[in-house]
Structure 1
């Protein structure tokens, strides 16, 4: 599995991107804590998240088509350079004045816009520099290395913010982006760039939406992903920090530990990958990962009991164990799902169209998450904790229903294949 690391371009892309992920997550976590500390409001916190998602939802399909016609290597290099310089500028400003909510909005919006351009370019590079038979290993290894950044970022971000201030977080973030840009600059590979003609631009944009319908399996998984981004991920980003920091009054460090435990779950998926690849098909592995994600909602069901909440409030270690174990299950399952889902669409969609496919998916994911963060911000502000928990359970049931068409198509194709033998 590690033989893919002999690929110099992949190794540079892997390390460079993981470095910038570390900076992004540190900044996001610190900004989340900063906004909660400044406003003590779940609604205000969810509004900051929704600002980022709104920009992504509106622009992603148009940007993806543009990026498909750009040099992907130069795109990722320049974007990391620009993001690094912007963080350093914000660092200099924060030394002179306190960060107001207006400045927070500007930072969130800038990094949201840059991600819109960066993600489709990055997604298009991997199939160009890695052989198709090595894609599952490459996707898995990328997930592990990136998740190492996810594991470190919460601890570093929360500790850096708790023991210093937002200025230091911005400085470190800027440095990570600049390091990433330098590493990516050493990548060299032949890239065929096809620039879309202006009169065909809207047609190319629409073709990205049509890619969601090229296969019933892709369509079914897309519907399931929308549910995840509508309910599960907004619950994690809005609900979990609100429950831990506001309802249970746990420390910021405790929340950081939960995030790190979750990411360790993602890394642990790498250990299961060889066995799963050997024993099951890509489609079966997608189903295994997806049902692990569905279990997450039911693991949080005890939170509807006031007595259980009191126990967690009085014992922070139990709180860490409870949220840590449930997040571990979610993230190990989702990491496995993502590895095989990414491999599936990389084998079905040509590299020159992957950018627009990823962008269109991102549009729907962002629209769903935008609604989700506003929904959970409202639910946690206006109702008791039991209501958002029950919404999470309902979404888990709906995800099972949404996956039925995928399983039917896979079963039919399996039976057809056996009948031909």
Structure 2
């Protein structure tokens, strides 16, 4: 028992920091939406906040991987948390100056967030032993799911007792606490300086791009799985962009009915995440990832064909339920197969591609939905998602690829 407690000491601290940060992020997102809408009265202005997220990822991921792989991960995580905390704390004062200054600050916050994700994943992979990764990822999915429910609930309470500005301050405090908690986890890298005599430059970024391409060519199967799963995520983002319009125009739901539909999805997420933590050790990584994606797609298809609330609710519940399984399988797969020394560059570069695809797919589906019909586009998107998921399953279930379930060879590369 003492051995188990000791082995989970630092992972537990890390999970607490992730949980606090995620809850704060939901509070911040909802509060910022309200603040911008109250200030401008424009839904387009609010939509601009969401456009800034993939744009910031595109701008950041071009170069950030080169820094992430050469910097002290724990130090960088702390700096990024504190930077975001300061920027978010300053947001209310920028509203009095200019809406454009607000957008610039939000863009910088999103850039830091885009950089934080691959940094934390690289650190997590180094901290968590191979045999604990599936369990850790399942618990992280549970925390993410809990934040999805708890964050908006806390935001609602804060809106009642205070103002959206107060909620924004709460997220600044949450990120500050997350940064402080990160100080409690081990410093796995001895030096916080860039571990190379070569100074950062665009030539270095270009060479790192070739490094990623070389790894991709030498490990086609790994990157194919990565790309296929990312493509499923791209399709979920594109279909989700039409969710509100679908609920209004196809299902004819009221605002309260739509809110209840989202709550059902939240219930599916949390129930799926809880079950995932209980059975994760007994299910192969490939099954979690492949079958999880297939059932997420099936949930979207049920939702796409729905003409009334009950069927839409069933589809929402199914897709949300299996999302935790799919994410756990995917995170475990690339933690076990992508070496830490290049993980920041690989995640950043492929994240850049994913963000571009999300933007393009969302725009295309939005235009086609305007020209044809929302339901037809959602159905087509759901079936394309299912096709990609089935192809993913076919590759992950190849008997010759079972070595990637828990590959000691690749884990030795993670040093």
Q: TM-score range by the shorter chain?
A: 0.7 to 0.9
Q: Which of these residues, 210, 215, 222, is aligned with residue 218 of structure 1?
A: 222
**Post-superposition offset of 1:128:** 2.1
Q: Given the alignment of the two structures, is residue 297 of structure 1 paired with residue 300 of structure 2, yes or no?
A: yes
Shift of the 30–392 alpha-carbon distance from structure 1 to 2, 3 Å rule, reads farther
Kindly indicate whether the alpha-carbon contact (under 8 Å) linking 1:4 and 1:134 is maintained by their aligned counterparts in 2: no
Of structures 1 and 2, the one with the larger relative CO (CA 8 A, separation 6+) is 1
Kindly indicate whether the alpha-carbon contact (under 8 Å) linking 2:91 and 2:102 is maintained by their aligned counterparts in 1: no
Shift of the 277–61 alpha-carbon distance from structure 1 to 2, 3 Å rule, reads farther
**Structure 1 Cα separation of the partners of residues 225 and 254 of structure 2:** 36
Shift of the 391–352 alpha-carbon distance from structure 1 to 2, 3 Å rule, reads same
Aligned to 1:11, what secondary structure does the other structure show? helix
**Post-superposition offset of 1:257:** 5.1
Residue matched to 1:315: none
Aligned to 1:300, what secondary structure does the other structure show? helix
Residue matched to 1:316: none
Q: Which of these residues, 201, 208, 212, is aligned with residue 212 of structure 2?
A: 208
Residue matched to 2:352: 363
Q: Given the alignment of the two structures, is residue 233 of structure 1 paired with residue 237 of structure 2, yes or no?
A: yes
Kindly indicate whether the alpha-carbon contact (under 8 Å) linking 2:159 and 2:167 is maintained by their aligned counterparts in 1: yes
Shift of the 19–265 alpha-carbon distance from structure 1 to 2, 3 Å rule, reads same
Kindly indicate whether the alpha-carbon contact (under 8 Å) linking 2:299 and 2:314 is maintained by their aligned counterparts in 1: no
Q: Which of these residues, 381, 391, 399, is aligned with residue 411 of structure 1?
A: 399
**Post-superposition offset of 1:15:** 1.0
**Post-superposition offset of 1:26:** 2.3
Output aligned runs, 1:20-419, within 5 Å: 20-32=21-33, 41=43, 46-94=47-95, 96=96, 100=99, 102-103=100-101, 105-157=103-155, 160-161=158-159, 165-192=163-190, 195-196=195-196, 197-198=198-199, 200-236=204-240, 238-244=241-247, 248=252, 250-251=254-255, 258-267=261-270, 268-278=272-282, 280-303=283-306, 305=307, 308=308, 319=309, 323-400=312-389, 402-403=391-392, 406-407=395-396, 410-413=398-401
Say which is worse superposed, 393-402 or 135-144, in terms of deviation.
Answer: 393-402
Shift of the 172–202 alpha-carbon distance from structure 1 to 2, 3 Å rule, reads same
**Post-superposition offset of 1:375:** 3.2
Say which is worse superposed, 158-167 or 204-213, in terms of deviation.
Answer: 158-167
**Structure 2 Cα separation of the partners of residues 63 and 157 of structure 1:** 32
**Structure 2 Cα separation of the partners of residues 132 and 120 of structure 1:** 18
Q: Calculate the TM-score normalised by the size of structure 2.
A: 0.81
**Structure 1 Cα separation of the partners of residues 392 and 209 of structure 2:** 27
**Structure 1 Cα separation of the partners of residues 372 and 37 of structure 2:** 19
**Post-superposition offset of 1:62:** 1.6
Q: Which runs of 5+ in 2 are unaligned?
A: 404-415
CA RMSD of aligned residues (A): 3.3
**Structure 2 Cα separation of the partners of residues 160 and 240 of structure 1:** 26
Say which is worse superposed, 112-121 or 182-191, in terms of deviation.
Answer: 182-191
Kindly indicate whether the alpha-carbon contact (under 8 Å) linking 1:154 and 1:257 is maintained by their aligned counterparts in 2: no
Q: Given the alignment of the two structures, is residue 17 of structure 1 paired with residue 18 of structure 2, yes or no?
A: yes
**Structure 2 Cα separation of the partners of residues 227 and 220 of structure 1:** 10
Q: Write out per-residue CA displacement over residues 106-152 of structure 1, whole angstroms, 9 at most, x where no aligned residue.
A: 34312211112211211111122222211111111122123211221
Kindly indicate whether the alpha-carbon contact (under 8 Å) linking 1:234 and 1:376 is maintained by their aligned counterparts in 2: yes
Kindly indicate whether the alpha-carbon contact (under 8 Å) linking 1:266 and 1:332 is maintained by their aligned counterparts in 2: yes
**Post-superposition offset of 1:51:** 2.6
**Structure 2 Cα separation of the partners of residues 363 and 86 of structure 1:** 24
Aligned to 1:12, what secondary structure does the other structure show? helix
Q: Which runs of 5+ in 1 are unaligned?
A: 309-318, 416-421
Aligned to 1:27, what secondary structure does the other structure show? helix
